[in-house]
Amino acid sequence: MRLNRLAHIYYFFFFFLFLFQLLSSNSHAMMSISEEREFGEKLLKEVLSQVTLIDDPEIIHFVQETGESILKVINGKYFHYRFFVIKDPALNAFAMPGGLVFVHSGLLEAVSSQNELACVLAHEFGHVQGRHVAKRMEKMKYVSIGTAVMAIAGLFLGKGDVGSAILTGSMALGQSLALKYSRVDEQEGDRRAFQWICKAGYDPRGLVSTLQKMMKNNWLGNTHIPKYLSTHPVPEERITYLEDLWKNHPCYLKIKKDPFELKRIQTKIRVITKPEDQTILYFKNLLKKSPNDLMGLYGYALSLDKARRFNDSIKTYKKILELYPEREIFNLDMAITLFHMGEYKRAIKILKAFLRHDPQNVTAKYFLARSYLEAGLPLKALRYFKMLLPSWEDKPQFLFQLGRCYGGLRQNGIAHYYFYKYFTLTGKNDTAKYHKNRALALLPKDSPFYKKLSKEKGE
């Protein structure tokens, strides 16, 4: 306890020391939009090297689609927003400079509706559009970019503890000044979000209910204290402010979403983030009470797949389709289990039929591409990979599979290019450098891939 008190004393000493140095120094201009984009790319690599992403296409698409329903009503967007889901039980979501949006799996499990998720994302967009971190980054000119990147990633991920702040004064400076949003920042973020939420057809009270969940979680002393509250201060004031806004400018939910999709996502997250023996037992017990419960059966099928009990998983999916024939989405899940079994031809047949029913489904496209690739048909696989590429260019596992696809086509220069992108994003810099050099050696100099890599030579 005594050491803890001393740590806090030293922390505040360094904080005020560096604050004084900042205030007594000349100010720097705020970074430009293009500089903020470049800074965002450095942040992305730092974050991805520290976290485990959920790469399930349906979960990512759900978050992205929800976010884009808000983004479409925002005028004058500075950035192309990109969405990631972190495998972590904390109730957390954050957006970084350059339009990088991260949602923790714990928050997705905790929200009661898609409306609540939309409200949280809208608030994060408010910080990005307000360029709040960029404005505070003016002060970060006094420390190295590398330190600034680590400080920002550390605090948003909940790793900026007092001990590391004491060891490096600039780290304390970065965490305290550049990252923790002020009351003014929070009010501006909420004010912007409120307008966008109403315009998009959601109910802004969803942000209040989500904040209340986080505060309750915090009060209960949960091991996974909401990291959101550490970077988004004074939640009580925010709740009062939002309630006043709603009283003066009420707007109501116009977008009526079927809760089925969110329940699917939450069931998937439970299975992905917990050991399969635990989830098998959980869903078994659920089905003892209610044998035909749809999400109970779905969670059980997913858990059996994860445990590699593929035949039992297929039987469960067949039962689901018999009981709920109108829920064709479970044909897609069954095809994915067939893919995991190595039954690529059977998976391809179901996936092609499913895409005739739902031609825009990104999960079906991805697993059809993967099935073709594993079946030794890389040219057919490439067609579907290319459909996904424009919006998946920063998804590590996707880039790895795309590299494999080009390798199967003997287009080795392009294969090495995508392996370079994959290993860069996952923080394996030596391996990335190897693939970059191989790509430059194999690609024609007039290739667009060669030109992109050549611009990065100075890094």
Weakest mean pLDDT among 1-10, 206-215, 240-249:
1-10
pLDDT bin (cut points 50, 70, 90) of residue 224 is very low
Residue 23: pLDDT band (50, 70, 90) is very low
Name the more confident of 444 and 245.
444
Report the C-alpha gap between 45 and 424 in whole angstroms: 7
Model pLDDT, residue 17: 36
- Write the CA distances from 52 to 55, 121, 149, 186, 214, integer angstroms: 9, 20, 18, 28, 22
Summarize pLDDT for 351-378 with one digit per residue, the tens.
999 999 999 999 999 999 999 999 999 9
- Which domains can be identified in the chain, with CATH numbers? 2-248 (no CATH), 259-455 (1.25.40.10)
**What pLDDT is stored for residue 151 in this prediction?**
64
Give per-residue pLDDT as tens, 56-68.
999 999 999 999 9
Q: Is the pLDDT of residue 222 over 50?
A: no
Q: Tens digits of per-residue pLDDT, 122-154?
A: 998 988 887 767 776 665 554 555 666 666 666
How far apart CA 340 and CA 276 sit, in angstroms, is: 16
pLDDT grade, residue 47 (50/70/90)? Answer: confident
420/425 Cα distance (integer angstroms): 9
Check pLDDT > 50 for residue 170. no
Strand partners, 95: 101
Range 211-216 average pLDDT: 82
Kindly tell me if the per-residue pLDDT of 1 is higher than 50: no
CA 321 to chain centre: 31
- Strand order in 82-86's β-sheet? 82-86, 100-104, 93-96
Please tell me the predicted confidence (pLDDT) of residue 198: 94
Residue 125 CA: distances (Å) to CA of 67, 95, 96, 197:
9, 7, 9, 11
Q: What is the residue type of 154?
A: G
Residue 5 in this model has a pLDDT that exceeds 70 = no
Question: Among 36-50, 87-101, 322-336, which is the least confidently predicted range?
Answer: 36-50
Q: Which has more confidence, 415 or 45?
A: 415
What does the DSSP 8-state code read for residue 174?
Answer: I
pLDDT at 252: 81
More confident site: 252 or 310: 310
The set of residues, in sequence order, having a beta carbon less than 8 Å from that of 294 and lying 6+ positions away, is 320, 323, 324, 327
C-alpha to C-alpha distances, 265 to 34, 51, 131, 411, nearest whole angstrom:
35, 20, 31, 37
Asked whether residue 220 carries a pLDDT value surpassing 50, the answer given is: no
Mean pLDDT (whole number) for 25-54: 76
**For the residues of 45-106, what is the DSSP string, one character each?**
HHHHTTS-B---HHHHHHHHHHHHHHHTT-SS--S--EEEEE---S--EEEETTTEEEEEHH
Mean residue pLDDT across the chain: 83
